[in-house]
Structure 1
Amino acid sequence: MGLECIQFCGSPGGEVVQKTFVHPELAVDEVAVKVTHSGLCGTDLHYVTTDMVLGHEAIGVVHSVGSDVSSVKVGDRVGWGYPNWTCGKCEWCLRGEDNYCPNWKIYGMADLEQGSLSSLSVRKEQWLFKIPESMSSEDAAPLMCGGSTVWTPLVNHVKPYHRVGIVGIGGLGHLAIQFAAKMGVEVVVFSATESKRDEALRLGAKEFYTTKDVDDYSTLGVIKQIDRLMICTSSKLNLASFYPLLNPQAMIFPLTASDGELTVPYFATIRNGLSISGTVIATRFMQKKALEFAARNGVHVIAEKFPMTLDGVRAAMGRLKEGKMRYRAVLSWE
């Protein structure tokens, strides 16, 4: 017998609608999860005009499992993010870089009836993660996408002696500051808003610079060059403005999903050996480690909370679209 659930979906007109859906019986490798919490991500706005279940930062409790499932059991608290399946056979999966599997099934492209803004979702076992007991579900939900987005470049490319610049204190930036600071690196924050200075320093930043109305960033007074620069704002930036602040062989990580073109100075890039590196969410191994690290080191999400109702989802989506969210949204059935 199938499992009936409530779902909150996008629609061609861009309005969130509520639907009822009956999941078919579980496949042998599938897990039915009763959703308790869901984060909201900027990517969800990209799909609000698509007829699909929205949301991909989920925390819930295992309701039932397929016959071959062995890594989780009924009653476990689990989370999931973007992917729901990877092939396990391609070059990238075999290298342990399953987040680049060309055959993966991900949010917005497959399993459109399986988003996290619902009362129940069916997921493949391989992309479910147990949540540490000491971590609240409100903290865990945004770590399934937003947290893993900033965690990946930090773990893969940052050394303890690096100075890490973080541009923007928002849904990604406030998590990047905490992860980087708790890794022991020197965190330098750039923001258009002077009002966020105290918060940035409280989260772990050592330096804070306001860029609003500044044409020449070399006049900001940055005391030492930057080794890694994480772009955590969705605002369109002129990356060339940051070039005077970068060390040779510095790396730049654009982390927000956006359209348009990315333009940088040609000669200054090659002369200084600068790298611009795309990055996606964490591998399964690194997602697990991100949760463990955050629980062990007290990484906390600053979030506005909304009820998992049609009015609650619409209100959260509207606030996110207007750019007024501080800094993530978490919806819950509780």
Structure 2
Amino acid sequence: MPIAKGYAATDASKPLVPFTFERREPNDDDVVISVQYCGVCHSDIHQARNEWGGSKYPMVPGHEVAGVVTAVGSKVSKFKVGDRVGVGCFVDSCTTCATRDPDYEHYMPGLVQTYNDVEADGKTPTFGGYSDSIVVKEGYVLSFPDNIPLDAGAPLLCAGITLYSPLRHWKAGPGKKVAIVGMGGLGHMGVKLAHAMGADVTVLSQTLSKKEDGFKLGAKDYYATSDAETFTKLAGTFDLIINTVGTAIDWNAYLNLLKYDGSMVLVGVPE
């Protein structure tokens, strides 16, 4: 089996350490990727520290993977050696099941997560992108366009899709007022994407410290949620609110900012 090198958590209390391990043998529908970059998602930290429970050690985190194809299986048709590609949170699933629906891939039968999971054989552990190579089923590999550098594009594979998915699902676009709660790793993605979709974007953040950044990314308005007047002024304003923060807040106060039949989506995951 192919030998890979990476960094692994060996238990919840220790820092990551160098780790050598075996990757599974590629199947005829697999793509082998040389990892060039991998984003650090906060969920990697949660998992490595077992803050959500269920962590399996040793663990090689990383699900914002960007790299170059080094080999492809005989049935692979979308990729060739040398292609610039990315891998997100999943690496395999059942592709022939009657209940399969690509629009709800996180509910697919036989879904295999990029790390802290087991392969389709039910016993081989999956290891993520904090490593020098990875083997992934073709359907879970994405192409990088030439105008997106791999290092800059890697976070799109988790933070990017986390915001793009609800924005698309709830039809953010011209004529829609969208509020993004929080301007961190997720929030700034939401501002850029909602603006690119043509929505009228407002940032709701604890303070105004990132106001200029918000405007540069496409926000039309920026309000401090530490100011009680914000919730009075903006009552009944938004078609869609996406909350990216992982701390406890007063949900009712934010729900009151929605128009009738508006939606609030929570994507920030607490410890």
Q: TM-score, normalised by structure 2?
A: 0.88
Q: Is the 8 A contact 1:167 1:232 kept in 2?
A: yes
SS at match of 2:44: helix
Match of 2:250 in 1: 238
Q: Is the 8 A contact 1:6 1:118 kept in 2?
A: yes
Please give the residue correspondences for 1:65-84 in structure 2 after superposition, counting only pairs within 5 Å: 65-84=72-91
Q: Is the 8 A contact 1:92 1:98 kept in 2?
A: no
Match of 2:169 in 1: 156
Report the Cα distance in structure 1 between the residues aligned to 2:231 and 2:159, rounded to whole angstroms.
Answer: 30
| 2:145 is aligned with 1:132 | yes
| 2:207 is aligned with 1:193 | yes
Match of 2:42 in 1: 42
Q: 2:113 aligns with which of 87, 106, 119?
A: 106
Report the Cα distance in structure 2 between the residues aligned to 1:52 and 1:7, rounded to whole angstroms.
Answer: 10
Q: Tell me, which stretches of 5 or more residues in structure 1 are unaligned?
A: 260-334
Offset, 1:94: 4.0
Report the Cα distance in structure 2 between the residues aligned to 1:141 and 1:34, rounded to whole angstroms.
Answer: 14
Report the Cα distance in structure 1 between the residues aligned to 2:235 and 2:211, rounded to whole angstroms.
Answer: 17
Deviations 1:179-222 (A, max 9, x none): 0011111001100121111110111001110012x356433x33
4+ runs deviating over 6 angstroms: none
Q: Tell me, which stretches of 5 or more residues in structure 2 are unaligned?
A: 50-56, 120-124
Of 120-129 and 47-56, more deviation after overlay is shown by 47-56
Deviations 1:130-166 (A, max 9, x none): 1001111122100011100100011111242110010
Among the aligned pairs, what percent are the same residue? 31
Report the Cα distance in structure 2 between the residues aligned to 1:176 and 1:95, rounded to whole angstroms.
Answer: 23
Report the Cα distance in structure 2 between the residues aligned to 1:223 and 1:94, rounded to whole angstroms.
Answer: 37
Report the Cα distance in structure 2 between the residues aligned to 1:74 and 1:171, rounded to whole angstroms.
Answer: 32
Residues 124 and 147 of structure 1: CA distance in aligned 2, closer, same or farther (over 3 Å): same
SS at match of 2:240: strand
Aligned length: 256
Report the Cα distance in structure 1 between the residues aligned to 2:111 and 2:133, rounded to whole angstroms.
Answer: 22
Q: Is the 8 A contact 2:180 2:191 kept in 1?
A: yes
Residues 256 and 92 of structure 1: CA distance in aligned 2, closer, same or farther (over 3 Å): farther
Match of 1:309 in 2: none
Offset, 1:64: 1.2
What letter matches 1:40 in structure 2? V
Match of 1:210 in 2: 224
Q: TM-score, normalised by structure 1?
A: 0.72
Deviations 1:15-52 (A, max 9, x none): 21211123343222222110001111111012214422
Report the Cα distance in structure 2 between the residues aligned to 1:132 and 1:228, rounded to whole angstroms.
Answer: 30
| 2:30 is aligned with 1:22 | no
Match of 1:144 in 2: 157
What letter matches 1:51 in structure 2? P
Report the Cα distance in structure 2 between the residues aligned to 1:233 and 1:81, rounded to whole angstroms.
Answer: 21
Match of 2:67 in 1: 60
SS at match of 2:256: helix
Q: Is the 8 A contact 1:30 1:69 kept in 2?
A: yes
Match of 1:253 in 2: 265
SS at match of 1:97: helix
Q: 1:122 aligns with which of 113, 122, 135?
A: 135
What letter matches 1:161 in structure 2? G
Report the Cα distance in structure 1 between the residues aligned to 2:97 and 2:14, rounded to whole angstroms.
Answer: 36
SS at match of 1:257: coil
Match of 2:237 in 1: 225
What letter matches 1:204 in structure 2? G
